[in-house]
């Protein structure tokens, strides 16, 4: 059995849902994970914002517009009156539920419930459509088996036990459908996976059932060797190792969230990135195979802040770095890059929520400088110590670009370069010309 995840764009209209139905029917049972239809989650967030501010009229207006959209999609999706009626009953039930929150107190709990409706509607509509086409499908509610623990992390033991039990009770169907993104928390309340969303659901489910392959279907034909928004002539990378994919995902490749790689890697289940709009394209295969003697791709991560601490105390002083890192731990702020010298240490962060407090604490140990609006550019490939020439190619390509920091050696698959945000496009194009 394969796990096939389709994002919001892939199910963004009635016609695209019909296209997805053709893709999932490949002659074997498949488990399909769906996101909410594109634009739905943003509307639900807007509704929640209005309700949080006690602006019930604003919420009702957005609800009405979203409802009208779904009425049109139901009309386009189903051909027979029986299923048009069933589709209308489905969306009416969910929107009546959403409207009920305009009449009562609205808290963070209710917000999570409202946000879950997008996935519940899209999977319900898709299941009805398959049934109208005579396809033997069954809906497996994610809230029955997706759960996070007290730390907000997926409870993988619970997930494996319960989806296994549910699949055993529903043997023999062609297509199994479930929701991405949504889950229950340790208290049994409706919640969501936050990081990675529906991709994370697909990876966790694939690991739990021992799937032969996890497929992530988007509107892009695989992970490209550079950012096609800024660089012409990019091409999809046909094969990546799990380690390479994780580095690219973490450092800016939007097609895949870094959390999604680990469950698949831990269970050695290949992940394939595919394009719903071009289903015949090969896409990108991510597996345990290691690829030698190449640079695979370049990715960029924006809105980075660099912090430099200069201190004569650091000279020959043990324990200095521990004190510095403890400050970031105190404020639960992750560090992306690190560079050290005899009298200083530089780090980068992408979360500036506690930046002022961090800087104040760091000033106890030395002079602190902060540079905002930076970009990390990550070059990913075979960068093992025995590989020759690649470092030279990278730095030669960037010879005309001012570089603030370099992180090299922390990973055998990654060289990270820090540049000013305004130099990002120049750097990406220079690397593309010099490396590919």
First to last CA, the chain: 36
How many Å apart are CA 159 and CA 147, to the nearest integer?
7
Q: How far apart are CA 138 and CA 214, in angstroms?
A: 19
pLDDT attached to residue 257: 78
Determine the pLDDT at residue 196: 66
DSSP string, 29-64: -EEEEE-PPTTHHHHHHHHHHHHHTT-HHHHHHHHH
Class of domain 296-435 as given by CATH: alpha beta
Name the CA dihedral angle for 268, 269, 270, 274, rounded to a multiple of 10 degrees.
Answer: -150
Using CA atoms, how far apart are residues 272 and 284, in angstroms rounded to an integer?
6
Query: What is the per-residue pLDDT for 220?
Result: 86
Long-range (24+ apart) CB contacts under 8 A made by 86-92 are 86/128, 87/125, 87/128, 90/121, 90/124, 90/125, 90/128, 91/67, 91/121, 91/125
Specify the 3-state DSSP secondary structure of 244: helix
Quote the Cα angle for 277-283-285, to 5°: 145
Return the CATH class of domain 2-219. alpha beta
Reduced to 3 states (helix: H, G, I; strand: E, B; else coil), residue 283 is coil
Ordered per-residue pLDDT tens for the chain, 436 residues: 999 999 999 999 999 999 999 999 988 999 999 999 999 999 999 999 999 999 999 999 999 999 999 999 999 999 999 999 999 999 999 999 999 999 988 998 999 999 999 999 999 999 999 999 999 999 999 999 999 999 889 999 999 999 999 999 999 999 999 999 999 999 999 999 976 689 999 999 999 999 999 999 998 888 999 999 999 999 999 999 999 998 898 887 767 777 888 899 999 999 999 999 999 999 999 999 988 888 999 999 999 999 999 987 665 567 888 889 999 999 999 999 999 887 889 999 999 999 999 999 999 888 999 999 999 999 998 877 656 677 888 989 999 999 999 988 777 888 999 999 999 999 999 999 999 8
2, 174 Cβ separation under 8 angstroms: no
**pLDDT of res. 316:** 56
Is residue 263 within 8 Å of 206, Cβ to Cβ?
yes
The 3-state DSSP class for residue 228 equals: coil
The DSSP annotation for 103-160 comes to GS---HHHHHHHHHHHHHHHHHHHHHHHHHTT--EEE--GGGT-BB-TTSSB-HHHHH
Q: Are 219 and 9 in contact (CB under 8 A)?
A: yes
Could you tell me where in the chain the CATH 3.40.1160.10 domains are found?
Answer: 2-219
pLDDT (tens digit, 9 = 90+) per residue, 4-22? Answer: 999 999 999 999 999 999 9
Q: What is the pTM of this model?
A: 0.88
Sign of CA dihedral 291, 294, 296, 300: positive
Q: What is the pLDDT of residues 73-122, one digit of tens each?
A: 999 999 999 999 999 999 999 999 999 999 988 998 999 999 999 999 99
Residue ranges matching CATH 3.30.2130.10 in the chain: 296-435
What is the distance, to the nearest Å, from the Cα of residue 274 to the centroid of all Cα atoms in its chain? 15
Residues whose CB falls within 8 Å of the CB of residue 222, separated by 6 or more in sequence, listed in order: 236, 237, 238, 255, 273, 274, 275, 281, 282, 283, 284
């Amino acid at each position: 059995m394969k796990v096939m995840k389709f994002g919001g764009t892939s199910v963004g209209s009635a016609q695209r849902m019909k296209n997805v139905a053709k893709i999932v029917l490949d002659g074997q049972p498949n488990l399909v994970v769906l996101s909410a239809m594109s634009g739905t989650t943003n509307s639900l967030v807007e509704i929640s914002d209005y309700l949080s501010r006690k602006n019930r009229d604003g919420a009702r207006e957005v609800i009405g517009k979203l409802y009208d959209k779904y009425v049109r999609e139901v009309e386009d999706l189903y051909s027979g009156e029986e299923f048009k009626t069933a589709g209308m009953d489905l969306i009416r039930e969910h929107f009546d539920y959403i409207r009920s929150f305009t009449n009562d107190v609205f808290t963070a709990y209710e917000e999570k419930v409202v946000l879950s409706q997008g996935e519940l509607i899209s999977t319900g509509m898709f299941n009805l459509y398959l049934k109208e086409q005579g396809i033997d499908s069954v809906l497996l509610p994610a809230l029955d088996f997706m759960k996070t623990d007290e730390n907000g992390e997926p409870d993988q033991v619970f997930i494996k036990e319960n989806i296994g039990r549910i699949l055993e009770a529903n043997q023999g169907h062609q297509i199994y459908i479930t929701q991405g993104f949504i889950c229950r928390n340790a208290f049994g309340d409706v919640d969501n996976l936050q990081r990675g969303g529906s991709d994370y659901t697909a990876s966790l489910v694939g690991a739990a059932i021992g799937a032969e392959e996890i497929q992530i279907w988007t509107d892009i034909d695989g992970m490209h060797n550079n950012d096609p928004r800024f660089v012409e002539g990019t091409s999809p990378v046909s094969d990546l190792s799990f380690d390479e994919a994780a580095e690219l995902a973490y450092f800016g490749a939007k097609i895949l969230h870094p959390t999604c790689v680990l469950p698949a890697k831990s269970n050695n289940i290949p992940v394939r990135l595919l394009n719903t709009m071009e289903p015949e394209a090969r896409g990108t295969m991510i597996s345990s195979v290691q690829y030698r003697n190449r640079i695979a791709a370049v990715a960029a991560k924006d809105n980075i802040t660099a912090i430099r601490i200069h201190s004569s105390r650091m000279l020959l002083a043990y324990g200095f770095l521990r004190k510095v890192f403890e400050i970031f731990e105190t404020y639960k702020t992750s560090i992306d890059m690190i560079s050290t010298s005899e009298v200083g240490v530089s780090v980068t962060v992408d979360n500036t929520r506690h930046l002022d407090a961090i800087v104040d604490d760091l000033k106890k140990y030395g002079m602190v400088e902060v540079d905002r609006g930076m970009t990390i550019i990550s070059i990913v490939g075979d960068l093992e110590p025995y590989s020759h020439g690649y470092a030279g190619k990278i730095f030669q390509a960037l010879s005309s670009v001012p570089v603030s920091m370099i992180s090299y050696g922390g990973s055998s698959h990654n060289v990270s370069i820090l540049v000013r945000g305004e130099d990002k496009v120049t750097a990406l194009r220079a690397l593309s010309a010099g490396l590919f």
